[in-house]
Amino acid sequence: MKDNIYNYSRTSFEDYFLNIGSPKFRATQLFEALYKQRIREFSEITNFKKEFRIKLEENYYFGDLEIEKEQISEDGTRKYLFRLEDGILIETVLMKHNYGYSVCVTTQAGCNMGCAFCASGLIKKKRNLSTAEIVLQVLKIDNSLRKEGNRVSHVVVMGIGEPFDNYENVIEFIKVINDDKGLEIGSRHITISTCGIVPKIYQFSELPLQINLAVSLHFPNDEMRSRYMKINKKYSLAELFKALRYYYQKTNRRITFEYILLAGINDSLENAKELVELVRGMNAYINLIPYNETGLFKRSDEKTRRAFFDYLMKNGINAIMRKEQGHDIDAACGQLRLKEMQ
Ligand code: SAH
């Protein structure tokens, strides 16, 4: 069976080419054809000999994602519903910022992490997305931005799914988009968000890529975190922070913590104090997220959020209050897909 050409990093193609007795610079040429010129047929790779193109054609095809629906918000946020080859629907969000365009990619069809506040988990994981299916989310959107003279400059791996539960494909995806012969998205412009799969954090610490790590923390003690996030029953906060301190020591990179403020649950100054204790001494950056109400919980009010934020700043912890985008188009976390499937 033929394989999707977007499934591989340049290094993987180098191995493939060496295996079939071709020089490895062919991988660079192929990458430039795929990601710079954006060719969609082997016959368009004019610097490849015909026999060679036929050989590639025997092994690979050009995968695609079908655009099922596109919604555009007043603030410029765009939400795409894509159909995969087997019919599964996934969603991808494009956000416009003053520093560029960022795409939020989905890594799994559904999610098994089962966080109580998240709409993504309402649909169980059907399967992991392939590298190509993640690459194509960015490529398709970049193609349409190109027509307007713009490009995708940032990627956040924060869509549906747990990226560290699909580790190999996600890392291969990162290599494709980060490659200067590929989509050329700078490593400092790429962020992976995990709910805290500890063994993968250790593995990630060894990766020679300067990409950003974000952790969905949300609760400042085990009692609370285990109640609302299944993953905490497997890896306690002590284990999680041991791994994160290892990552920090190894990479010297800042870690972002996502913290959704839920009214009356995790938004007291007592909680802020616990949070400060937890992250002290590790160059933490706290991202306070206004909750997108999807069910059980209520968003903390402005005043409470402000007080929580001030407490962190006063205690020397870097924080920001994330502003909301695309609220008029169900832009948060599995809402569009959920609606489409119901
Ligand atoms: N599984 C990964 C990435 C996907 S979730 C992770 O857990 O980090 C991306 C972020 O959105 C996470 O921080 C998640 O907790 C948050 N999130 C989920 N539901 C939300 C909601 N209704 N409102 C605001 N943020 C939400």
CATH number for the domain that contains residue 33:
1.10.150.530
Domain limits for position 191: 66-341
What letter would DSSP give residue 39? -
Residue 204 pLDDT: 98
Asked if residue 315 and residue 257 are part of one domain, the reply reads: yes
Residue 327 pLDDT: 66
Q: What is the pLDDT along the chain (342 residues), one digit of tens a residue?
A: 999 999 999 999 999 999 999 999 999 999 999 999 999 999 999 999 999 999 999 999 999 999 999 999 888 899 999 999 999 999 999 999 999 999 999 999 999 999 999 987 778 999 999 999 999 999 999 999 999 999 999 999 999 999 999 999 999 999 999 999 999 999 999 999 999 999 999 999 999 999 999 999 999 999 999 999 999 999 999 999 999 999 999 999 999 999 999 999 999 999 999 999 999 999 999 999 999 888 789 999 999 999 999 999 999 999 999 876 666 666 555 555 555 544
Tokens standing for residue 36? 């710079």
Closest residue CA from atom 3 of ligand 1? 158
Instruction: Tell me which residue has tokens 């918000």.
Output: 73
CA 194 to ligand 1 center in whole angstroms: 9
Closest residue CA from atom 20 of ligand 1? 118
Looking at 14, 91, 162, 172, which residue is catalytic?
Answer: 91
Asked if residue 307 and residue 162 are part of one domain, the reply reads: yes
- E-strand ranges in the chain read 3-4, 60-61, 66-72, 78-83, 89-97, 100-104, 108-109, 127-128, 152-157, 190-194, 212-216, 255-261, 284-290, 318-321
Asked if residue 12 and residue 161 are part of one domain, the reply reads: no
Residue 342 pLDDT: 42
Q: In the chain, how many domains are there?
A: 2
The pairing of strands 66-72 and 78-83 is antiparallel
Ligand 1 site, CB within 6 A = 113, 115, 117-119, 158, 162, 193-195, 216, 258, 260, 289, 291-292, 294, 332-333
Asked if residue 27 and residue 139 are part of one domain, the reply reads: no
Looking at 104, 195, 333, 340, which residue is catalytic?
Answer: 333
Closest residue CA from atom 15 of ligand 1? 216
Asked if residue 122 and residue 12 are part of one domain, the reply reads: no
Amino acid at 255: I
Asked if residue 138 and residue 41 are part of one domain, the reply reads: no
Q: Is 91 a catalytic residue?
A: yes
Residue 341 pLDDT: 47
For residue 174, give the CATH number of its domain: 3.20.20.70
Backbone angles phi, psi at 107, to 5 degrees: -115, -15
Asked if residue 106 and residue 24 are part of one domain, the reply reads: no
Asked if residue 47 and residue 177 are part of one domain, the reply reads: no
Q: DSSP string of 12-51?
A: HHHHHHHHTT--THHHHHHHIIIIIS---SGGG-TTS-HH
Asked if residue 119 and residue 142 are part of one domain, the reply reads: yes
Residue 288 pLDDT: 96
Q: Is 85 a catalytic residue?
A: no
Question: Residue 209 and residue 207: Cα distance in Å, rounded?
Answer: 6
Asked if residue 324 and residue 204 are part of one domain, the reply reads: yes
Helix (H, G, I), strand (E, B) or coil at 259: strand
